[in-house]
Structure 1
Amino acid sequence: MQNQKQQKFLMINKFNIFYLLCLVIAIPVFSQQKGFQLPDSLKDKSYDYLNNRIDLYEEDTIKALFYLDSYLSKAKSEKNLNEMVNAYSNAIFFVPENLKLAYADSIVATAKMTNDPPVIGSAYISKGNFYYSIKNYAQALNFYLLASDYISNSDDAYLKYELKYHIAGIKIHLGFNDEALVLLKECVDYFKQYDEYDYQRGYLNSLHSLGLVYNRLGKYDLSTETNEFALKEAKRLNIDLTQNYIIHSEGINQYFKKNYTKAVHDIQQALPAIIKNNDFANEAVGYFYIGKCYWDQKQQEKALPYFKKVDRTFAEKNYIRPDLRENYELLVGYYKEKGDVKNQLYYINRLMKADSVLNANFKYMSGKIHKEYDTKALRQAKQEIEKQLAGKEKTTLLLYFSLAVFFFLTLYFFYRYYSNQKLYRQKFEELMDAKKEEPQDPISIHKEDTEKKGLDINPDVVTAILKELEKFESRKKFLEKDLTLVNLASAFNTNSNYLSKVINHYRNKNYNNYLNDLRIDYIVDLLKSQSKYRNYTIKALADESGFSTPQHFSKAFFASTGIYPSYFLNELNKERDNVA
């Protein structure tokens, strides 16, 4: 691969002066030889033929560049700007990294000369893809949004779904996984209808991303099912690179399923192709999860080199994403335990830098994607309704009604947003002001009182259960995972029916709410009293409080407090910053 790049670079430099002179428009081109003329044997060949030959010789740079030269010569001789755009779009895959941005600019500059909105939109997608490939997601989003301006009103379905796929990728990066899931399902359904190569790639890429989203949503079995199907389809279509990405994704999914040996095997199998593809981001992600596999198996020394490779990528490429933040938490904790103050301080500084990058990028992009893409999509839907209703007198009322609903829904969502913020702040203050209740004294139960209150249980049994509950709460046994009503009843030497009735009667809640509330009260007190826990991830806080998944923890936190744990953490950190 490196030799191929060097060959490309030498060829480009050799003929660079010629390109500047022979261009019809003043933008860079690729390796067309001095005096190059379209061979007679190719003059009557179609652009599709030349494009297929470029794809055929994808791994043979010299032959691929020959057909690219031919493609460009044909387009220039015919003054076909659209095909010149295609030539530059193909060339960007063959030029050295330091020239790719110039070629992306060339695509846009040529496309603008066509005055054709779909062509211009496609050019902006290409430029967005360049920034996405170097993991500059903010810039990628900017160009995808520019593309949307040109594509949204066109009839080019392929471009619309291509853009949906890329927007879904940004949403995955931002953590808007439910929204990405909807877009990716639409993309899979669309791309699988056609047999052309571009559609096949779109189909496989959408399936790969779909498996990734299921993983992010905690649906690990569904992620495996999707990955296995995607791998089968990739083999059927004989697209090797996509196969490796699917294997890489499934390796990460196997980590979450705690199949560590399988996870390490899959990721290591996929990494050589990913490294060859210069995909430093997925390379770093692979290293992190290999490290996590060893770390979770208490093999810290084997994990460390992989964590340090993640840090090297961050240092060289400034690439970080939310789950990789834990890389630094683990390194800080490791060197703290070892008493290595120098390395502990180093990784604390790296963690702080990672946080600053994450906060800046995510705040910027999350606002922009919702305001400029999601709102635009809603506006587009409104315009389509208006277009359908235009000229139809009998439907005028429906149009006004739709607009009114749209207007009032918008007002409602704004009102709900600000009301929720006000309510969340109130709930936060209540949590901060709340004082921990004193443990209840043992309750003596009289048979008459028990019967009057509707508990058909021996008073001595009730008293015994209440004492067990008091010990259970004071000793914080509720932090143990997988506590079922049956298990707890067995530990109390009683039956689940009695235990359920006593909890309902004396704690005024069912068993699940009782257990969840104890855990949430514990973690809230911990966050209020010990600032170090405010740097924990939601997953880490879930583990600390006995929940099996971050999703279960967040849901229980909201049910108990009326706010989400992320909001609570943000407000705690704001107050700390204000005090500082």
Structure 2
Amino acid sequence: MDAQGTLSKIPDSIRDKDFDYIFNRIEDRKINDGQRSIYLQSFLIKAKSEKDWEELSNAYKNYVHYAPEKLKLTYADSMVAAAKQSKDNEIIGAAYLSKGVAYYRQKRLAEALDSYLIADTYITRTTDKYQFYKVKYNIGLIKFYLGFYGEAIALFEECIDFFNKDDVRGYLNSLHMLGACYNMVGNHGLCSEVNEKGISEGHRLDNTDMESYFVHSEGVNQCKIHNFALSIEKIKAALPAIHKAGDFANEAIGYFYLGKSYWGLGNKELAISYFKKMDQIYDAKDYLRPDMREGYELMISHYESIGLQDVQLYYVKKLLNADRMLHKTYTYLQGKIHKEYDTKKLKQQKNEIENSLRKRRYNDQIFISVIVGLCLFVIAIIIRYLKNKKVTRRKYEELLQKLEASKKAKSALSEENGMSMSKDAEAMVLSQLKKFEDSKKFREKDLTLTKLAGFFNTNPKYLSEIISKHRLKSFNNYLNGLKVNYIAEKIRNERMLQNFTDKALGDEAGFSSTRRFVNAFETQTGISPREFIDELKKDDAGIK
């Protein structure tokens, strides 16, 4: 069929309209699906007839948004193919980015990351700041999933500053993810602040599409601080809109935290029912976030406690399968994001240095001097390494003994419960101190003696004296000791954390900076976090 015959399929009322007009009609929420289908087809026919590769790529992008789920990725392939015909880096980069978003919405994270990295290759050759920050945002989503919360926070903060200018949805999305990061690092106060800001900004900007997500996020946040009834209220309020949007991932997350909240309230039967809803989504969509695997652990313990071994075995097998999936996905994503994204600048610097070195010429005498000096240096390093290795191993074993001793001391302290104290006020502060330790609230950043004394309704001097008397430490050493013991125990028990950066580990422990975390860890244990992790890995491998 010739171009004229093809164009005849476009209704007369829009045949002479431009692409902007047709696109605006596609995006009009007031029209029904049948009307939208006519505009989608007209946009596609017009782009094909005019051989406008950019608009043809946009035509398929429209279908990626509005087509049935099973056809979205087919249209995404056509979108990329059309973009490549344009030979334009901006158009090709934008197409790969949209393809990555389509994969991410189906939670096919490996394929999403691959598309983002290809998009980044094209977009960095352009001056398109908008697409550049869209890549940053989507890489931030992958880093969030991997648990690199500190790095994700930095990316989302950059995106907030950029999108705040002229992209309302990008701005609100970035705020939502920033709040989720604060939740994961234990800064629940900041998480609530961001969620409240997201809702108020949505109203100010006349866009409430994200409101249910901020409510959902706050529900998860309240569960983390054991406000279970409020958590249930907020997540239940948010889930209908999230389900209607087809967002199975956040729906599954909601079910998990509903289950965890009911479990916290002692209603295990209702908790199990929500864990099973989470499991149904895992079966249907193959989606599970690392924190959600606890749902399977709780189901296993429940069925073990009531003697249903067949059901217990069923969920043990499900958890083993989930762990294999998580490990495979995590390993792939981590390898790609570090090798192909984080190290891009390092590679550029390396190439610049190598090019500079090629221009320099060394005579034989200087070359030999360098080699001899290097050999002597390496020998000295080896001798020092062997000496330090013994010291590191001794410090590592001392740290493990300290962690075990801390558990026993905590148990003994729980049995005492402060009853031997002669003063009621002292006993009350000791009781609050124990609750503070058990709830892990010491992970709050920038916590001071004055602030903690305010929480306990006592004065800083008196609180300092009690800590000195009963914990045998100054306030700073006491607080740092709690944080270091917490993160050391978590690294020891959760292997995934052994792949985190010092910055991410410091955020998880509640330190305000990486330097403070590393210094505190070395002061408390005598070895660095990296050395501790290396020794743990050696123990796992049976190496001494």
Distance change (3 Å), C-alpha of 1:265 and 1:527: closer
**Is the Cα contact below 8 Å between 1:255 and 1:263 reproduced in 2?**
yes
Q: Is the 1:120–1:147 contact (alpha carbons within 8 Å) kept by the matching residues of 2?
A: yes
Query: SS state of the match for residue 108, structure 1?
Result: helix
- The equivalent residue for 1:510 is 474
Write out aligned runs for 1:8-27 (5 A): none
- Kindly indicate whether the alpha-carbon contact (under 8 Å) linking 1:424 and 1:563 is maintained by their aligned counterparts in 2: no
- The one of 239, 244, 247 equivalent to 1:271 is 239
Deviation of 1:382 after TM superposition, in Å, equals: 9.7
CA distance in 2, matches of 1:370, 1:37: 49
Higher RCO, 1 or 2 (CA under 8 Å, sep at least 6)? 2
One-letter identity of the residue aligned with 1:431: Y
Q: Deviations over 1:353-411 (max 9, x none)?
A: 22222222212212221221122245679999xxxxxxxxxxxxxxxxxxxxxxxxxxx
Q: Which protein shows a greater Rg? A: 1
| Cα distance in 1 for residues equivalent to 2:88 and 2:483 | 59
Q: Tell me, in whole angstroms, the C-alpha distance in 1 between the residues paired with 2:102 and 2:92.
A: 16
Query: Given that residues 185 and 508 in structure 2 are in contact (C-alpha distance below 8 angstroms), is that contact kept between their aligned partners in structure 1?
Result: no
Q: Counterpart in 2 of 1:70?
A: 42
**Residue 257 of structure 2 corresponds to residue 289 of structure 1:** yes
Taking structure 1 as reference, are residues 337 and 89 closer, same or farther at Cα in structure 2, changes over 3 Å only?
A: same
* 2:96 is equivalent to residue 124 of structure 1: yes
Within 5 A, what are the aligned runs for 1:98-497? Answer: 98-194=70-166, 199-377=167-345, 427=392, 430-432=395-397, 480-482=434-436
C-alpha distance in structure 2 between counterparts of 1:313 and 1:472, whole Å: 43
Mapped partners of 2:307, 2:301: distance in 1 = 10
Q: Give me the whole-angstrom Cα distance separating, in 2, the residues matched to 1:87 and 1:41.
A: 19
Give yes or no for contact 2:392–2:531 (8 Å, CA) kept in 1: no
3-state DSSP class of the match of 1:245?
helix
Task: Provide, for residues 99-152 of structure 1, a one-character-per-residue CA deviation record: whole Å limited to 9, x for no partner.
Answer: 112111111111111111111111111111111011111111111000011001
Structure-2 residue corresponding to 1:448: none
Moved more, 130-139 or 555-564: 555-564
Partner of 1:45: 17
Where 2:113 maps in the other structure, the secondary structure is: helix
Residue 443 of structure 2: aligned partner: none
Structure 1 unaligned runs (5+)? 1-20, 25-32, 385-415, 438-467, 488-494, 539-548
Query: Is contact 2:483-2:509 (8 Å) kept?
Result: no
Instruction: Determine what percentage of the aligned residue pairs are the same residue.
Output: 42
1:30 alignment counterpart: none
Which AA in structure 1 matches 2:120?
Answer: S
Give the Cα–Cα distance (whole angstroms) in 1 for the partners of residues 393 and 325 of structure 2. Answer: 27
SS at match of 1:38: coil
Q: CA deviation at 1:334?
A: 1.7
Q: Deviations over 1:463-503 (max 9, x none)?
A: xxxxx99x85997989933369999xxxxxxx777767778
> Structure 2 stretches of 5 or more lacking a match?
353-380, 403-408, 419-429, 438-448, 455-461, 498-506
Cα distance in 2 between the residues matched to 1:285 and 1:145 = 27
CA contact (8 A) 1:534 1:573 kept: no
Among 52, 55, 62, which residue is 2:27 paired with?
55
TM-score, normalising length from structure 2? 0.72
Cα separation, partners in 2 of 1:380 and 1:307, compared to 1, 3 Å: same
The amino acid of 1:315's aligned partner reads D
SS of residue in 1 equivalent to 2:295: helix
CA distance in 1, matches of 2:389, 2:207: 49
Contact 1:57–1:63 (CA<8 Å) still a contact in 2? no
Cα separation, partners in 2 of 1:576 and 1:369, compared to 1, 3 Å: closer
Normalised TM-score (structure 1): 0.68
Q: 1:132 to 1:480 in 2, by over 3 A?
A: same
Q: 2:47 & 2:483 partners in 1: Cα distance?
A: 68
8 A Cα contact 1:38 1:70, kept in partner: yes
Amino acid at match of 2:158: E
Shift of 1:84: 0.7
Q: Cα deviations across residues 330-357 of structure 1 (Å, max 9, x unaligned)?
A: 1222222223322222222222222222
